[in-house]
Structure 1
Amino acid sequence: MPNIVILSGSPNAVSRLNGITAHVEQSLAAQGFEITHLHAASLPAEDLVLARWDSPAIIEANRIIAEADAVIIASPVYKAAYTGVLKTFLDLLPQKGLEGKVVLPLFIGGTIAHLLTIDYALKPVLSALYTRHIESGVFAVDTQVAKKEDGSFEVAEELAARLDAAVASFVQAVNLFAAK
């Protein structure tokens, strides 16, 4: 079964983004996919900011991405773009670091005004990393993910339907590319 990495760009450990990634992960795990998590914010800040390509943590993170068949890139949107911590990590991937991988973007923001962030901020960077198959992705608004008292999240029905459709398309693409 293909290996999928969920690369989170959230600097906040209790982000509503976790509700989205948990929903997607649950669906993928039910289908037998192996999931690995990589949180850009957990990498040493000094290694990211000073572009330490030879840092053991960066080398390990790059290895995780290299060994993946597909990558889900998840991020909150701040100032009409994905997070800086995600950008600094993407800058440290090898030039062809996403070559041959299927990528599914999952973004969340405070307003629908940031809907095109995936297309105008992320996709050009993914193309520069030789990603040839980028799924349409899903953009959610904060109000579509509720934090529950127990620390879990509840995803709105409409968002859940869009996430399920995106996962179905993603799985189809991953299986198609894995068969080649």
Structure 2
Amino acid sequence: MATVLSVSGSPSPTSRTTRLLRLIDAQLEERGHRVVPFEVRSLPAHALLTADLSHPQLAAALELFAEADGVVIGTPVYKAAYSGLLKALLDVLPQYALRDKAVLPLATGGSTAHVLAVDYALRPVLSSMGADHITRGWFVLDRHITVREDGTTVLERETDVLLRPVVEAFAGTLERLAAPALTA
């Protein structure tokens, strides 16, 4: 099946955004897709902020994008937009790094006041990067993502019910895009 790059744009090591992505990764893997988790915060700040494309870790990150059939991009919402960390990564990617890829934009935040950040802040940037297969994005309230004492992540039931068709639609897009390659 497809290779999916699952990108967390959160600067936090205890990120609910990253936890949400890992739940979605598991759903995609259940459908047979290969998922490569990636946290932007793992990149060296100096290389990222100076766009040092010769830095091995930054070059490897760009290669992950090039090899992916689909990209799930998750970000916390700060000041009504996606994270500055994610912006720094998007800025160093090639202009059309998302061409011919399925893209699922996701955001998390503390208030429903930020729900439009997916469509009005993130989606236009992804589109400008050549993504013509952007599936419906989704916003999840932080409080709907909980961590149990054993460390497992749980979504609030209604959020899980509403998010599953979004992930299914993304997986379906991945599979449709891969279908011509299988018959060629």
TM-score of the superposition, structure 2-length normalised?
0.94
Task: Measure, in 2, the Cα distance between the counterparts of 1:112 and 1:69.
Answer: 31
Partner residue, 2:53: 53
Partner of 1:136 in structure 2? 136
Task: Please state if 1:76 is matched with 2:81.
Answer: no
AA of the residue aligned to 1:113 = A
- Which residue pairs with 1:31 in the alignment? 31
Deviation of 1:108 (Å):
0.4
The number of residue pairs the alignment matches comes to 180
Following superposition, the deviation at residue 149 of structure 1 comes to 1.6
Letter in 2 for 1:129: M
Which digits, 9 at most, give the CA deviation of each residue in 1:92-128, with x for residues without a partner? 1111111000000111000000001011111111111
8 Å Cα contact 1:19/1:155 also seen in 2:
no
1:140-179 → structure 2 map (5 Å cutoff) = 140-179=140-179
Residue 33 of structure 1: CA displacement?
0.8
Cα distance between partner residues in 2 of 1:13 and 1:152: 15
SS of residue in 1 equivalent to 2:73: strand
* More displaced stretch, 12-21 vs 97-106: 12-21
Deviations 1:121-167 (A, max 9, x none): 11111111111011111100111111222222210011111221111
Query: Which residue of 2 is the match for residue 120 of structure 1?
Result: 120
Counterpart secondary structure, 2:71 = strand
Partner SS state of residue 95, structure 2: coil
Q: Partner of 2:20 in structure 1?
A: 20
The residue type equivalent to 1:83 in the other structure is S
What secondary structure does 1:166 align onto?
Answer: helix
Name the amino acid aligned to 2:112. I
CA deviation profile, 1:49-97 (whole Å, cap 9, x unmatched): 1121222211110100110000000111111111111110010111111
The one-letter amino acid paired with 2:66 is: A
What's 2:94 paired with? 94
Matched, 1:5 2:5: yes
The amino acid that maps onto 2:161 is A
Q: Distance in 2 between matches of 1:84 and 1:72?
A: 17
Q: Distance in 1 between matches of 2:16 and 2:70?
A: 23
Q: Which amino acid aligns with 1:74?
A: G
Verify the 8 A CA contact 1:110 1:142 in the aligned structure 2.
yes
Measure, in 2, the Cα distance between the counterparts of 1:11 and 1:20: 15
State the Cα RMSD in Å.
1.0
Partner of 2:103: 103
Distance 1:19 1:162 in 2: 17
- Answer yes or no: is the 8 Å Cα contact 2:4–2:71 preserved in 1: yes
The letter for the 1-side match of 2:149 is E
**Alignment-mate amino acid for residue 121 of structure 1:** A
Give secondary structure in 2 for the equivalent of 1:150.
coil
